[in-house]
Structure 1
Amino acid sequence: MKIVVVGSGLAGLLTAVEASEQHEVTLVTKGALADSNTAWAQGGVAVVGPQPDTVVAHVSDTRRAGAGLSDPAAAMALAADGPTAIDALLELGVTFDREGGVLCRALEAAHSYPRVLRAGGDATGAEIVRALVVAALGRRIEIREHTHAIDVVREGDEDAPGHDAHAFSDLSDLSDDDALPGAADASGPPAVVGLLVCTPQGDVEHLDADAVVLATGGAGQLYRATTNPLVATADGVAIALRAGAEVADLEMVQFHPTVLAGEHPFLVSEAVRGEGAVLIDDAGRRFMVDVHPAAELAPRDVVARAIAEQEARQGSPVRLDATRLGAAAVAQRFPTIVAACAERGLDITTEPVPVTPAAHYWMGGVRTDLAGRTSVPGLWAVGEVACTGVHGANRLASNSLLEAAVFARRVAAALGEEPRAAAPSDGAWSLPAAVELDDAPGAADWDRGQLQELLWEHAGLTRDGEGLARAASVLAGFATPSLLPDAMLGLSARDIEDANMLLAARALVAAAAARTGSLGAHTRRDAAADAPGEKRHQVLLAPSRRSAGLGSSLV
């Protein structure tokens, strides 16, 4: 089979490496082979350790952090398959830190036991990417760097068509009775048969494929402040939406609590707090002890909101104090963070440093089953771009790299099977409701800064109905960059990314407006204190760009 993998983080690289044992694999990545969110990951990989830790304990921690929305079967797959996935990484040359020959395991927020493996102290992602790049280069994999995926090609598509402009409207008045006529007929959506890409020279090329695997990572660039690299522009979610695939839980965006405040944000790993660092206000007082029993080791959504509230009270960033750990210990354990602080004129080994929340991880994504199948036959998704439901409403620290490894191996193992769509979601996932998907009349040009500021203000750490309605209206007034075939000669990588970011932003805002209660990372200022968010997954289904009546539905 011909397999095209899009993305070169842990999920994409491992899928390509393992799939290449049985299939003809092409790996497409829009940057250099080593450019991804994975390479920026510091903390580590959470995996069940020796007793008293257990698979059940890891599942329990995952579901508790996920605010009750984590899919039980997905959480079990993650925890149970974790040790085997780590063995696979070790065999591929990943070097995790050891003491006395035994793998080091750290404690991080909301984990019951020390189970987080690390590499290079705080350079885990970089080490994983290093090893997997070597592995990929040593196998029969065609690697296409600096090549942008535009769209999947499906049976019946003519001449690899481009895109129509889409815009989500407000979903607040929708109900399960608002079914979308013709959204999916009995035969289901057409199967994927290829991928349309933009080469480094600006040419448009059609790659034949029996399966396309989206491993495109996250969407941090939708926000003003993020821990993500510039390549995180929601490409996979937008491609899936245009193909008619289901996406889920897009309102669930995790904001990492501790990012160096200033013009150049830099993530300060959860592991620093796991080692004993504390958060202090402008008077030097620990404020998290008044917020949660676990204090600084509370789930990320809790800590991020508490920091934002404290910043609002005092009018300045809070500070992370790691001095109690000892300068030598901090320098040895967290060399990457120490160096990043030094570049910004800070010394985390001897002084508290200013930190603030920033967009970090998208729990939502393309809805898949536990083998990575989407609702479109031949289209697969894995890693941050996918939504198996495993993270629920808030991801447990260091579960992201494990998810990428576990589900990459599941995808690679299933690719040889007859192409089919993921089974329909069960009762934990809601039913369809229709919504329009058009640019507003007179839509105008815009720039990324406008979009990023808009989402930060109205779809960030906290949201409300009025702000989300405002965001939806403004986004509808942004003109979608044309990616139609007759515009291809003038197509740029920036146009592709901007079209993807705008569509994903509209979807995110629509999902956030539809979930009127607070749950996990989705906090509504206008939700009643005694009305928790409904613990059901929300699925968006956008009929494909080839449909006669373009629309979307909240499932």
Structure 2
Amino acid sequence: MTETPAEYDTADVLVVGSGIAGCGAALQAARAGGDVVLVTKAERPDDASTDWAQGGISTTRGDPESLKDDILEASDGTADPDAVDVLVEHADDAVDDVLLDTLGIEFDEAADGEFDYTREAAHSEDRILHVDAATGTHILRPFLNYVDDHERIELRQDTAALELITHEGRVHGIVTDESGDGHPIYAGSTVLATGGIGALYTRSTNPDDATGDGIAMAALAGADVADLEYVQFHPTAYAGEDPFLLSEALRGEGAVLRNGDGDRFMTDYHPDGDLAPRDVVARAVDAEREATGEVVLDVSTLEDDFEREYPAIARNCRDRGIEGEAIPVAPCEHFLCGGIDVDDRGRTSLDRLYAVGECARTGVHGANRLASTSLLEGLVWGLRAGADATDVGTEPEIVEAPDLRNSDPDLPDRFAAEKFVRLKRTMDESLGLERNPDEIARASAVLRRLKGEVDAYVRTRTARDLYELRNASVTALLVARAASENTESKGCHYVVADSSAEPVETESAADD
């Protein structure tokens, strides 16, 4: 630690991240009378994971118990019932308040003028609001505009958080990369909403800067983390280069999976067939690709015209030269079900530090997330954290900030990129859809060496890409550690004795 810096900024509430969870926290803190600074690495909306969300946002349609049952079932019985109660009890009010009344989101409507609720895998009812299959874009962009125009919220884009400022178990803000040696922002409370970990894998539906920043910074500061072994892979991403998501709404509206022989296969794996839980479908798709050469999503069976009903997805297909109605698919990293451990208001184990959205582990998802609950969870917990962060006190305390030195020459342009290739290869090979203890142990050793190499450079340089690599290596190690400590196959964490063996121990939904 060094002396208090001569130049710094302050806020009542500081929010890190500009997806739906971060915007929700900033909005509610401002509503409660707090002066908010929202910092984000993003330079444009599609740098945030929310902008990439396709299917929609779940509601309860007046039946919270039904949604709760579906969430618990999809989680293989591992979701926290109390956390799920918080989600379903506040779901419709949050959607009505923010998305409908405040932002005026124009969700798709049916011919009768009512909302066109759709259904996705493992949902028992049509309850999902959507805009085409690009719901995240249609929510985030007006939300960012609203936040940017709010008199109590200062939005700083292209600003990365590098370290948390801590003192005696309390978080006092962050150090950003706004100057060469780091720029402190002190706050009464700090809310992390930094998204997921897609950049740790070669194929992901996340933006490239989803490097686990919030998880790593919180863990390094001593915050509790949980359920990090539960990395969800979406079963239907385009199988070629530059993957994009093929929303579960397609299967919810009648699209089907076929293997290389042209056969439907999902009923061989689960009684719900193409609408089985994500973890089951992802492993089935992977198995059929290996056995028959490919799997396609057949959209010729849709109830409505593919081009008309899903123009954004259709455009992605045509841009990649995919003609016809059979789209090659393969599993792709999609969502982290665990993260920084938080309570029902987003409070972490460190005083005045909150976490919301994908970087947080609320307990709602357990071992496997139900489709179209991520935007909802981010909104509900973002609002609750923003309100609580303002209630507990907003007076920043100026303490010593971490000394981020920038004394050595810049590293070669490709240094971080080349290290990322090594990290991604390790995660792909050992911490993907299937894991075995020996591979997890080998991955842990590789990742420890990589983290040691990166730490040596971080001590004397404050480059953003180097800190992202540091954060990614820390988070990858935490995923490996959690996977090594859990020998039971549940949901997204599927443990086999070796690459050809049956699961060590399994109670997956496929066996129910």
* TM-score, scaled relative to structure 2: 0.88
Partner residue in 2 for 1:195: 174
Does structure 1 residue 360 correspond to structure 2 residue 334?
yes
> Residue type of the partner of 1:131?
P
Partner residue in 2 for 1:317: 294
Partner residue in 2 for 1:5: 15
> Residue type of the partner of 1:331?
E
Partner residue in 1 for 2:398: none
Contact 1:197–1:205 (8 Å) recurs in 2: yes
State the Cα distance separating 1:23 from its structure 2 match.
0.4
The secondary structure found in structure 2 opposite 1:2 is strand
Partner residue in 2 for 1:238: 216
Out of 141, 144, 153, the position equivalent to 2:165 is: 153
The secondary structure found in structure 2 opposite 1:210 is strand
Partner residue in 2 for 1:78: 87
Distance 1:258 1:485, change over 3 A: closer
Partner residue in 2 for 1:504: 475
Partner residue in 2 for 1:160: none
Q: Deviations over 1:30-74 (max 9, x none)?
A: 122522000010100011115xxx111100000010111100011
Task: Output the CA distance in 2 between the equivalents of 1:217 and 1:290.
Answer: 35
Distance 1:110 1:206, change over 3 A: same
Partner residue in 1 for 2:101: 91
State the Cα distance separating 1:101 from its structure 2 match.
2.8
Partner residue in 2 for 1:345: 321
> Residue type of the partner of 1:523?
Y
Contact 1:106–1:117 (8 Å) recurs in 2: yes
Query: Where in structure 2 are there 5+ consecutive unaligned residues?
Result: 1-10, 395-414
Partner residue in 2 for 1:171: none
The secondary structure found in structure 2 opposite 1:273 is helix
The secondary structure found in structure 2 opposite 1:23 is coil
The secondary structure found in structure 1 opposite 2:391 is coil
> Residue type of the partner of 2:392?
E
Contact 2:27–2:383 (8 Å) recurs in 1: no
The secondary structure found in structure 2 opposite 1:375 is coil
Percent identity over paired residues: 40
The secondary structure found in structure 1 opposite 2:305 is helix
State the Cα distance separating 1:495 from its structure 2 match.
0.4
Task: Output the CA distance in 1 between the equivalents of 2:507 and 2:349.
Answer: 26
Q: Deviations over 1:116-135 (max 9, x none)?
A: 1001x111000111120121
State the Cα distance separating 1:483 from its structure 2 match.
8.1
Out of 376, 386, 411, the position equivalent to 1:402 is: 376
Q: Deviations over 1:166-208 (max 9, x none)?
A: xxxxxxxxxxxxxxxxxxxxxxxx1111211112x64510001
Q: Deviations over 1:484-527 (max 9, x none)?
A: 8962xx42111010000000001100100110110111000129
> Residue type of the partner of 1:125?
G
Partner residue in 2 for 1:481: 454
Q: Which runs of 4+ in 1 moved over 6 A?
A: 483-486
Task: Output the CA distance in 1 between the equivalents of 2:290 and 2:189.
Answer: 49
State the Cα distance separating 1:317 from its structure 2 match.
2.4
Q: Deviations over 1:84-143 (max 9, x none)?
A: 011121122222112233111001100010001001x11100011112012102212111
The secondary structure found in structure 1 opposite 2:329 is strand
Task: Output the CA distance in 1 between the equivalents of 2:238 and 2:44.
Answer: 27
Q: Deviations over 1:222-267 (max 9, x none)?
A: 1111111112110010011011000000000000000001111011
> Residue type of the partner of 1:239?
M
The secondary structure found in structure 1 opposite 2:89 is helix
**Mapping for residues 237-276 of structure 1, pairs under 5 Å:** 237-276=215-254
Task: Output the CA distance in 2 between the equivalents of 1:42 and 1:300.
Answer: 15
> Residue type of the partner of 2:308?
Q
Backbone CA RMSD of aligned residues: 2.1
Contact 1:515–1:533 (8 Å) recurs in 2: no
Task: Output the CA distance in 2 between the equivalents of 1:491 and 1:417.
Answer: 34
Contact 2:235–2:331 (8 Å) recurs in 1: yes
Bigger proportion of residues as helix: 2
Task: Output the CA distance in 1 between the equivalents of 2:393 and 2:489.
Answer: 38
Out of 52, 62, 68, the position equivalent to 1:40 is: 52
> Residue type of the partner of 2:79?
S
Q: Deviations over 1:394-430 (max 9, x none)?
A: 000000001011111111221133379xxxxxxxxxx
Task: Output the CA distance in 1 between the equivalents of 2:53 and 2:503.
Answer: 35
Task: Output the CA distance in 1 between the equivalents of 2:238 and 2:457.
Answer: 41
Task: Output the CA distance in 1 between the equivalents of 2:278 and 2:223.
Answer: 30
> Residue type of the partner of 2:360?
A
Aligned length: 468
Contact 2:495–2:505 (8 Å) recurs in 1: no
The secondary structure found in structure 2 opposite 1:195 is strand
Contact 1:30–1:145 (8 Å) recurs in 2: yes
Out of 90, 96, 101, the position equivalent to 2:113 is: 101
Contact 1:96–1:103 (8 Å) recurs in 2: yes
The secondary structure found in structure 2 opposite 1:481 is helix
* TM-score, scaled relative to structure 1: 0.81
